[in-house]
Structure 1
């Protein structure tokens, strides 16, 4: 039986959703299914044997325009033709609107980048009727989505939102990875802020997990090269604000040939000294132990050595082949003591700061 969380908002399991679709309901108008890709396929095929459905649309990441996904890191982390969500009318009288979002119940699964479409669907659904958010068991994925909605609308902390749902059902238990991402959601002001250092570090972690799983690296999925004009972009459909308007200054350029290699949009900030549990390897900076001698960035399309798949290697300027930095999927320790994993490092001694457009 679905649990009422807030007015016209329920969560439950796959059996609850199947019963509503099969037997009808005067209460529900919308269903949000948060399931693994395999479960979505099985559930859909099983329903088609006895429950009518009418396809509305499927949205893939590769189908989205730049204004739909403007963040470079999000585009870089999702492979081509990854399903973002599907939408259909379902039920005996095609009276329900159902959205299916592929999401595994895994601590390494990317919840943050699915929140916007899920929360928008819930908000729109509540204007028309009642919505059921369900996963397979009604314990982790659906609860995480409901938590994010309650956090945003009521400005609750992650802990208070979880406690609120436990008052409805004691068995709710989002996995630790989802709880960690919901804490990030709270810290970013109850939104998925693509410009936030919190989000950028999260995207690097997702990319690192993908590399560690042995997924094939595709340089076209890296951040666009800020040193190229828009017409030289590898994909016009993925033109970012950097490519349309030029780099956001100040930008970083090769000290030897002055070719721009990174803009501020590419920088992944870190807290000096954070994670300082190992002796510092960079001992030359005795005057200021916490001064960073490097800038850490997201992977950028000119980094061909990264695309080749090695664990670590030099980063060289695409124009003059001069060394500008280093990368290591296992992580690099900054001179301030922080460990960044994975790390794509520009040495300050090898780059200049360009403060205005040439």
Structure 2
């Protein structure tokens, strides 16, 4: 049987979910599957001959907005297929269960943060309507030795704890609903089920979740750094970067700027900072697009020695000669897929800076990877 974590909230493995879907349950009404594949066929691949009836409700892809129920022909025929965010379906005996499947691999470089909102909302709504089982493949019980793959069995024999992606989801839910730290949430979960251990990458992302105030704040520096790392990892794996993941062009009219730009930064009592091309005055970035970094040790951080005059170190406020931003949709050279290159103004083509997916060292000495750099000498800084 699955483990009870909180009232109407269970954690288990793929075997527990299969048992519920095949034979029904007096308690569980909803299932959240956190598996590498969202398809129900994953169950039959896991156990030969297992057949579970389903009826699709909807599929939602990363980048979809507005009406999530409709998947257009344009989406299906796109040359760069979108990544599935989640699928929702009726499943199991008499199609009585509502199953959400979030395709997440239990790997350290997997993007957990971008799936948290939909998963946590599903858990919350499911608990209001009935009870929910959250499961992944590896499982959390002593029975895992019988059902697990060979690689997991070897890990157990070597004394390693199973790493559970569903545990990371539930830990995030406890963090949000009970205002627990990452460490306290994991410890609380282990009181219900001792055999859980999210991988290090998931633990790091749960710590980011805590730092953002138990929400995925796309406008925060914490998330922007993480998002850049995700894009950099994709580029290094040779994947084509989906430009829909770039920040909106702040130089477009306000009504055309999508919701991924924090327009609240342009309103309120404190005027937002805007960066404009010095030549044509086009807005190229807002303060909300800036990815802050901790200043390095100045010239001592460089391997070479520059000729110095007067004070060998710059003042802290003047230490960085550039500002680093998230990739934006006006950056045509970046869209073309180059490893590095110049950043040219979309209006007058004046050179504003440089980008490099492998990283750039700021004048303060800190390495930014990947880096999208605007030289302060090429832009004017003003208030919106």
Q: TM-score range by the shorter chain?
A: 0.7 to 0.9
Q: Could you report, residue by residue, the CA deviation over 1:222-263 in whole angstroms, capped at 9, with x for unpaired residues?
A: 2221112368x6xxxx83365999977421111122121112
CA distance in 2: counterparts of 1:296 and 1:27, whole angstroms: 52
Q: Which has the higher contact order (CA 8 A, sep 6+)?
A: 1
Corresponding residue for residue 295 of structure 1: 323
Of 204, 222, 227, which residue of structure 1 is paired with 2:246?
A: 222
Corresponding residue for residue 71 of structure 1: none
Contact 2:40-2:52 at 8 Å conserved across structures:
no
- Which runs of no fewer than 5 residues in structure 1 stay unpaired? 69-78
Distance 1:279-1:156 versus aligned 2 partners, 3 A rule = same
CA distance in 2: counterparts of 1:277 and 1:152, whole angstroms: 42
Post-superposition shift, 1:22?
Answer: 0.4
Corresponding residue for residue 205 of structure 2: 181
Q: Which moved more, 1:287-296 or 1:254-263?
A: 287-296
Q: Which moved more, 1:249-258 or 1:218-227?
A: 218-227
1:164-203 matched pairs, under 5 angstroms? 164-203=188-227
1:61-140 matched pairs, under 5 angstroms? 61-65=62-66, 80-138=81-139, 139-140=163-164
Contact 1:226-1:247 at 8 Å conserved across structures:
no
Contact 1:276-1:339 at 8 Å conserved across structures:
no
Under a length normalisation based on structure 2, what TM-score does the superposition of the two structures give?
0.80
CA distance in 2: counterparts of 1:31 and 1:277, whole angstroms: 55
Contact 1:228-1:243 at 8 Å conserved across structures:
no
- Which runs of no fewer than 5 residues in structure 2 stay unpaired? 70-79, 140-162
Corresponding residue for residue 18 of structure 1: 18
Q: Could you report, residue by residue, the CA deviation over 1:282-301 in whole angstroms, capped at 9, with x for unpaired residues?
A: 96783315622211111111
CA RMSD in angstroms, aligned pairs only: 3.1
Under a length normalisation based on structure 1, what TM-score does the superposition of the two structures give?
0.86
Corresponding residue for residue 144 of structure 2: none
Contact 2:320-2:363 at 8 Å conserved across structures:
yes
Q: Which moved more, 1:43-52 or 1:15-24?
A: 43-52
Contact 1:87-1:97 at 8 Å conserved across structures:
yes
Corresponding residue for residue 158 of structure 2: none
Contact 2:54-2:89 at 8 Å conserved across structures:
yes
CA distance in 2: counterparts of 1:159 and 1:207, whole angstroms: 28
Q: Please tell me whether Structure 1 or Structure 2 has the larger radius of gyration of its CA atoms.
A: 2
